[in-house]
Structure 1
Amino acid sequence: MHAITTTELFLIAMLIIFSVPYLIWRFFKTDYYAPLVVVQIIAGILLGPGVLGAAYPAYYEFVFTPAVIQSLNAIAWWAVMLFVMIAGIELDLKKAWEHRRESSITAGLALGTPLIFGCVAALGMLIFPGWIAQGAEEWQFVLGVGMACAVTALPILILFMEKMEILRQPIGQRILRYASLDDIAIWGVLAIILLDWTRVGRQAGFLLVFIIATLVFRKLMVRLQERDRWYVSLIWLAACGLAADWAGLHYMVGAFLAGAVMDSEWFDQEKMDLLRHHVLLVIMPVFFLSTGLRTNWGVGGVMVFGAAAVLLVASVTGKLAGVHMAGKILKWEKGEASIIGWLLQTKALIMIIFANILLDKKVITNETFTALLLMAVASTMLTVPIVSPKLKKLRALITRSS
């Protein structure tokens, strides 16, 4: 009898990754409420150890062996690094500096208000047993859950804005500025939560070396032909991701910083669009599915769903309240804050990664992780159905630059 090889198991996993979510998305026509990326995340969760793996452990142990999962993770890491780097390149930092008052006010309130709301919800959760991991400090739990409520999923946000044809419009670039500034802050807060002073020292060293390396890198890139810039940018991406992860800032922060210090004018825009589409088509599905496969969650009864609902309310209302306050300060037009707030409350992947780290570091329990996971999926599924009708009514807002 033929003994199945790791290669064959890997290809079986790839077959599942690309076929199951696509067939569900296409057959049930879920695009409006659950775009393909959301279906891929949910499918990963359902196919993972927490659901189908628990119901049919033999299936899970047969297909998703440690060697297969390790291979999928490697592809997933590179996929998301490429995607986040492209997001960084597409961010116009010159515009961010030109609109620094507007960007800092909006990003600050969009992060700070849901953080406060989430911390209040976390304090309520502490009243009941089973939410905080044994040995964790209460302030770590409260700040961790609060920040999970404040997270914006930058990669998913880009997909949604592209779907709604506003990514390249002024309002899309504004939203990218807000989300990007908040994403940088998220990993800094995570370092505080984990309270690793060795890591903080490494972070300071990384930032110092990164600034010096960036100056050299930018001088090099302007002297290269475009075909060389594409290849050198990949070397730069790998180096920044490695250095950031070594420093404890997470490889995705390094990937974003790698792209953020590059100018979009260095590359042909049509080729950049093609690269993003090809990354989404070819390798990002592995990231979406492997994220779900790496989750480890146990439903602890009705309380988990109740907690998820409370966290969802805290997350959405906090984000909307913060952005509306920014809109009043900056005198935005009617309806503008609502559109921006609903887009920025998108959670999905970044929050799942964030919650996974809290779970691995024993800050939260499996029940808390489950509640955060349900909240992330729900917030993401709300975005397109709510924002699309608003955009149709307020098309003039799309071209507003500030």
Structure 2
Amino acid sequence: MSPDALITHFVGASALILVAAHAAGWLARQLKQPYIVGQLTAGIALGPSLLGSVAPGAHEALFPEGIGPALTGFAQFALVVFLFAVGYELDLKLLGNRARTAVTVALAAFVVPMAVGSGCALLFREQLRDLGMPRDLTPAMVVFAGVALSITAVPVLTAIVRENGLARTVPGVVAVSAAGILDVIGWTVLAGTLMDSGGEQSLAWPWRVTIAAGFVALMVLTARPLLRRLLWGTRMEPSLRLALLLGFALGSAWVTHFLGLHVIFGALLAGVVAPREKGGILDPDLLRPLHDVSSLLLPFFFVISGQSVALNSMDATGWVAVLMVTALAVVTKIGSGTVAARLGGLDTHDARTVGVLLSARGLTELIALNAGLQAGLLSTPLYTVLVFMALATTLLTQPLLLLTQRLAERARPTPVVHDTAAPPPPTPQDGTRPAPVADVG
């Protein structure tokens, strides 16, 4: 394919991706669902499983093989911007006096699904072979199965909390705080899993661990004060500040990718160490364009994710696996989150609300699944199963939240109104007026 033809195909595919994904996201929001649900659905629909099956000629014309690297590059850039913003907004100081409860909920909501997922990977090895996994699972594959069940999507959860008016309530604060801690734990375990998975790396994993630890220490101890002096001390204009920070995030992502992790870890780390304003306030001139750029370009990531979904490989075993994995994902998250919140002092309704909120996976799950697929920890059929699980759990969060609210309303005691007024005097049958009542007051 000539360079001119490549550019033509890429521009046409980009136009289709942006329009279809954002239109589907708008439709999902009209149906009271998160924006991501519509975008992911559009990505799957534009992939080879649906569009490629219904109109293979149109799919080949719209998405020729030659533009694959360009689309992947846009998707990776969108992920770097998005996760840099996530890391920049991550502030565990917001825990306040609910810190112990949030930590307890986060640990329970990670450990229980992690144990169940890893245990099921060992218990159902024969069924996983039918989904393309090897006979002997590596330790990294087993751990990744647990990570896939334990993830919570902070962006989707935050959006649901805001849309339901829970941002200033106890369950809303505990759920968002616990999800932030879950993010830290989940990304750390996932980083270790990907590093242990090997791959085409020239460095042995002990060296990579050592270099990664040194890089993290360098970023935390050196990068933040240097950036603070450069960006805030010189009163640099917002557009130049944004450009330099995005370059910083991309460079950090390049280092972690070189170490055999993924660009997502470098981007997240760059966001965490990026300096805030005085008092820990987030810079709106930085945060607003980050959200705009990431929301505009994330559809490329959803399309790349959809390209790897293989509906044609889904037989009865695959759909049964979707049902089982979704049920496990919902039950383990809601159950562990609810029990931990209840033990942390929340009442039954608030604890149940926290558990339901933590069951949302969404974009964060897709990012982890893509990283696992690229590292060889997932087969394509199992990746498809887990993508449907992520979509199903995200779809179920809002209805389950409404159900918990209805249960709370039914459990609320109905106030009893006692009528203390004296009954009116009986009307005589002969039609005469009743005698006046003497005032004894």
What's the TM-score once normalised by structure 1's chain length? 0.83
Against the structure 1 CA distance between its residues 247 and 192, is the aligned structure 2 distance closer, same or farther, given a 3 Å change threshold? Answer: closer
**Contact 1:109–1:323 (Cα < 8 Å) also in 2:** yes
3-state SS in 2 of match to 1:254 = helix
Instruction: Specify the alignment match of 2:5 in structure 1.
Output: 5
**In the alignment, which of 323, 331, 352 is matched to residue 309 of structure 1?**
323
Against the structure 1 CA distance between its residues 231 and 9, is the aligned structure 2 distance closer, same or farther, given a 3 Å change threshold? Answer: closer
- In structure 2, C-alpha distance between the alignment counterparts of 1:303 and 1:236, rounded to whole Å: 45
- In structure 2, C-alpha distance between the alignment counterparts of 1:389 and 1:274, rounded to whole Å: 34
Q: Does 1:290 align with 2:304?
A: yes
Instruction: Specify the alignment match of 2:386 in structure 1.
Output: 372
Identity of aligned residues (%): 22
- In structure 1, C-alpha distance between the alignment counterparts of 2:407 and 2:81, rounded to whole Å: 35
**In the alignment, which of 364, 369, 376 is matched to residue 355 of structure 1?**
369
Against the structure 1 CA distance between its residues 338 and 265, is the aligned structure 2 distance closer, same or farther, given a 3 Å change threshold? Answer: farther
Instruction: Specify the alignment match of 1:94 in structure 2.
Output: 93
C-alpha RMSD of the superposition: 3.3
Per mean C-alpha deviation after superposition, the further-off stretch among 338-347 and 169-178 is 169-178
**Contact 1:84–1:255 (Cα < 8 Å) also in 2:** yes
- In structure 1, C-alpha distance between the alignment counterparts of 2:125 and 2:87, rounded to whole Å: 37
Against the structure 1 CA distance between its residues 212 and 25, is the aligned structure 2 distance closer, same or farther, given a 3 Å change threshold? Answer: closer
Amino acid paired to 2:274: M
Against the structure 1 CA distance between its residues 141 and 277, is the aligned structure 2 distance closer, same or farther, given a 3 Å change threshold? Answer: closer
Unaligned segments of structure 2, at least 5 residues: 199-203, 410-441
Q: Does 1:249 align with 2:258?
A: no
- In structure 2, C-alpha distance between the alignment counterparts of 1:313 and 1:146, rounded to whole Å: 14
Deviation for aligned residue 1:307? 0.8
Deviation for aligned residue 1:86? 1.8
Instruction: Specify the alignment match of 1:184 in structure 2.
Output: 187
**Contact 1:175–1:340 (Cα < 8 Å) also in 2:** no
Against the structure 1 CA distance between its residues 209 and 84, is the aligned structure 2 distance closer, same or farther, given a 3 Å change threshold? Answer: same
Deviation for aligned residue 1:347? 2.0
Instruction: Specify the alignment match of 1:174 in structure 2.
Output: 177
- In structure 1, C-alpha distance between the alignment counterparts of 2:373 and 2:163, rounded to whole Å: 33
- In structure 1, C-alpha distance between the alignment counterparts of 2:386 and 2:399, rounded to whole Å: 21
Instruction: Specify the alignment match of 1:115 in structure 2.
Output: 114
Against the structure 1 CA distance between its residues 232 and 102, is the aligned structure 2 distance closer, same or farther, given a 3 Å change threshold? Answer: farther
Q: Does 1:203 align with 2:212?
A: yes
- In structure 2, C-alpha distance between the alignment counterparts of 1:268 and 1:357, rounded to whole Å: 29
Instruction: Specify the alignment match of 2:233 in structure 1.
Output: 223
Against the structure 1 CA distance between its residues 186 and 346, is the aligned structure 2 distance closer, same or farther, given a 3 Å change threshold? Answer: farther
Deviation for aligned residue 1:193? 5.1
Instruction: Specify the alignment match of 2:436 in structure 1.
Output: none
- Bigger radius of gyration among the two: 2
Deviation for aligned residue 1:264? 4.1
Amino acid paired to 2:157: L
Deviation for aligned residue 1:314? 1.2
**Contact 1:33–1:382 (Cα < 8 Å) also in 2:** no
3-state SS in 2 of match to 1:375 = helix
**Contact 1:320–1:337 (Cα < 8 Å) also in 2:** no
- In structure 1, C-alpha distance between the alignment counterparts of 2:30 and 2:148, rounded to whole Å: 26
- In structure 2, C-alpha distance between the alignment counterparts of 1:297 and 1:199, rounded to whole Å: 37
Deviation for aligned residue 1:318? 1.1
3-state SS in 1 of match to 2:160 = helix
Instruction: Specify the alignment match of 1:53 in structure 2.
Output: 52
3-state SS in 2 of match to 1:322 = helix
Unaligned segments of structure 1, at least 5 residues: 396-402
Amino acid paired to 1:183: G
Higher relative contact order (CA 8 A, sep 6+): 1
- In structure 2, C-alpha distance between the alignment counterparts of 1:224 and 1:163, rounded to whole Å: 38
- In structure 2, C-alpha distance between the alignment counterparts of 1:50 and 1:120, rounded to whole Å: 31
Q: Does 1:300 align with 2:314?
A: yes
- In structure 2, C-alpha distance between the alignment counterparts of 1:168 and 1:5, rounded to whole Å: 53
- In structure 2, C-alpha distance between the alignment counterparts of 1:178 and 1:94, rounded to whole Å: 11
Deviation for aligned residue 1:96? 5.1
Instruction: Specify the alignment match of 2:335 in structure 1.
Output: 321
Report matched runs for 1:23-42 at 5 Å.
23-24=23-24, 31-32=30-31, 34-42=33-41
Instruction: Specify the alignment match of 2:74 in structure 1.
Output: 75
**In the alignment, which of 255, 261, 265 is matched to residue 273 of structure 2?**
261
Against the structure 1 CA distance between its residues 307 and 295, is the aligned structure 2 distance closer, same or farther, given a 3 Å change threshold? Answer: closer
